[in-house]
Copies of this chain bind each other. A is one copy, B any other.
Amino acid sequence: MRSMSSGATAPAGTVRRPGDRYPSRMAAEPSITPRLDPVVHGQADDGPLSAAELAFFDQNGYLDFQSLLPPQELQPCLAELDRLRADESIRTAPEAVIEPDSHALRSIFAVHQRQSALAALCAHPRLVAIARQLLGSDVYIHQSRINYKGGFQGREFYWHSDFETWHVEDGMPAMRAVSCSVSLTPNTPHNGPLMLVPGSHRHFVACVGETPQDHYKASLRRQEVGVPDEASLAQLIGDFGLVAPIGPAGSVTFFDCNVMHGSNSNITSAPRSNVFTVYNSVDNRLEAPFCGLQPRPNFIAEREDFRPASSIVEARRSA
């Protein structure tokens, strides 16, 4: 690894907030500093994952399961996705993101807030149980989205640590959140599968560049601020390599909020449609954004509804 700096020096015009343990977008140069939080917060006794699985996640920052969910459970989600894609009004909703080079649908956020099959998937008891165990507490849904990545038109998602953005732009204080990607369609080597740098979650890459107001409106299409520098990426990939879990529909990948990840474009005819749910510990609720700007909207970063994800399902079932 490159020598690690112990922090960033703020140039004039930027202020590091007291208690900001992961300053980013403040210094003139990028830096890589060690992670200051545990990776696995729970115990093997707490839930479905074995001690070996917890150790794998601790070391690599991800865990993937082939065919964790049976295809018939996903059928209603695919049908809902088809309805959403066919609904022109969705495309102008704030929750929808359109591809940068075309009018193709790229993402829809906050799918867990719909009374729907996708919402039920986000709060699926098997997924929530794993998140609870990894984070060692009750969890709420910080964010959910479907990344459609359609055939022919699906563009890349450049390398990023989710936590960098969630910390700077949303005020997430600590690395105690986990993402869960459920594949609704097969993820093949060719249709732009999720790629991860295993082990990168133990290092925080501070980025360069001040956050503009309303940054999310552009960054969700193509990110240009909060982007790790190529030298840091080359170092992480050189040290750790990369993995790209593939599998049939129903495969599931959990990954730490700070693992470096991204995906290539998809010119094949087969969409790579994955539902991402971000579970955050109820003990890691958002504060004011560390960049000093207004928070992003709730449909990107939940700031009000901290009900445990498990209780959402129970409430719906008893309703």
Contact = CB atoms under 8 A, between A and B. Distances in A.
Interface of A: 101, 151-152, 155-156, 158-159, 189-190, 192, 195, 222, 230, 233-234, 237-238, 242, 244, 262-269
Contacts of A265: 155-156, 264-265
Interface of A is mostly: loop
Given A151-B234, A230-B152, A268 B195 contact: yes
Contacts of A230: 151-152, 269
B242 A190 contact: yes
| Copies of this polypeptide in the complex | 2
Contact of A267 (B151, B190, B238, B262): B262
A94 to B, nearest CB: 25
B158 A237 contact: no
Given A156-B265, A263-B267, 14 more contacts: A101-B222, A152-B233, A155-B265, A156-B267, A158-B267, A159-B267, A189-B244, A190-B264, A233-B269, A234-B269, A237-B269, A262-B267, A264-B266, A265-B265
Contact of A268 (B101, B151, B237): B237
Given A151-B234, A195-B190, A242 B268 contact: yes
A222 B233 CA distance: 26
17 contacts: A101-B222, A151-B234, A152-B159, A152-B233, A159-B267, A189-B190, A190-B242, A190-B244, A233-B269, A237-B268, A237-B269, A238-B269, A262-B267, A263-B267, A264-B264, A264-B266, A265-B265
A151 B190 CA distance: 17
Nearest to A266: B264
Contacts of A268: 195, 237, 242
A203 to B, nearest CB: 15
A79 to B, nearest CB: 20
